[in-house]
Amino acid sequence: HVHESVDEGVDARDDWARRRRKGIPTDKQLLVVACMDERIPVEDALGLSLGDAQIYRNAGGKVTDDVIRSAALTTQYFDTTEIIVVNHTDCGMMSASDEDVIEGFEAAVDGDLDDVDLDPALPELNIGDASLAEWVRMTDDIDAACAAQVEYLENHDLIPDDVSVTGYVYEVESGHLRRPGERVAEQVNERV
C-alpha cells in the first residue's frame, strides 16, 4: 500500500524534527570547532552534509570556556565521539598587536574595562588576575595555535578520554586543508 511509504516519510520527519529529545546523535557523531571567518566553507572542506556534525565557531577557533561547555554537553549527552578543530591562514586574530586591541576596547567603553561584564548572562564570570589580552587570545603562528587547541581538548577533564581530536589549518589562499606545520606552499618554490 502507498500509505506505508508515506508513513516512512512521516516517521523520518519526526526523527529529524525531534532528534534531540529522542536521543538521536548527529549522523557522524562529530563536533567541529572552527573559526567564524566568512571565508571558511566548513562543511565543504570536511565533506559534511546537513545533519552530519555540530559546528562550533568563534573568533579564532580557540578553545574557550564556551567550547568546553559545548563540547562537554555533546560528548556526554549526544553521543559525539570525535572533535575536529579548524583554524585558518590570514585569521583576524593575527591582524593586530595585543596592545592595539586592548586600546580599542578601552576607547569603546570609554572608561575602565574592569567594570564591563564579560558575560552579560552570567555577570559573576571573571578572569581573576589574568590580563584582558589573555582573554582576547590573539595569535602569533596559526600552525602552533591549531596544535595547542587540539591539546587543550585532549587533556580536559570534561571531554571523555576516548574522544578523537584532530586539527587542521584551512588555507584561504588555496582552498585546501593542511595538517598543522605542513606548509606545502613553502616547500615547492626552490630546488630540492
Site for a second copy in 66-125 (CB under 8 A): 66-70, 72-74, 76-78, 81-82, 84, 89-92, 94-97, 101, 104-105, 108-109, 116-122, 124-125
135 phi and psi, to 5 degrees?
A: -70, -35
CB of 189 to a second copy, least distance (A): 5
Look up residue 146 and give its amino acid: C
Sign of CA dihedral 77, 148, 61, 164: negative
Site for a second copy in 29-68 (CB under 8 A): 30-31, 36-39, 41, 46-48, 50-59, 62-68
- Round to whole Å and give the CA distance between 10 and 56: 30
- Round to whole Å and give the CA distance between 82 and 24: 16
CB of 43 to a second copy, least distance (A): 9
Three-class DSSP category at 31 = strand
**Three cell numbers, residue 84:** 575536529
Look up residue 5 and give its amino acid: S
Give me the torsion for CA of 91, 97, 101, 106, rounded to 10°: 170
CB of 165 to a second copy, least distance (A): 9
34 phi and psi, to 5 degrees?
A: -135, 170
Single residue of 99, 139, 147, 162 touching a second copy by CB under 8 A: 139
- Round to whole Å and give the CA distance between 42 and 93: 18
Q: Which residues contact residue 45 at a Cβ distance below 8 angstroms, ignoring those fewer than 6 apart? A: 86, 170, 177
Q: Is 147 in the site for a second copy (CB under 8 A)?
A: no
CB of 42 to a second copy, least distance (A): 9
CB of 98 to a second copy, least distance (A): 9
Site for a second copy in 153-192 (CB under 8 A): 153, 155-158, 160, 164, 166, 168, 171-179, 182-192
CB of 191 to a second copy, least distance (A): 4
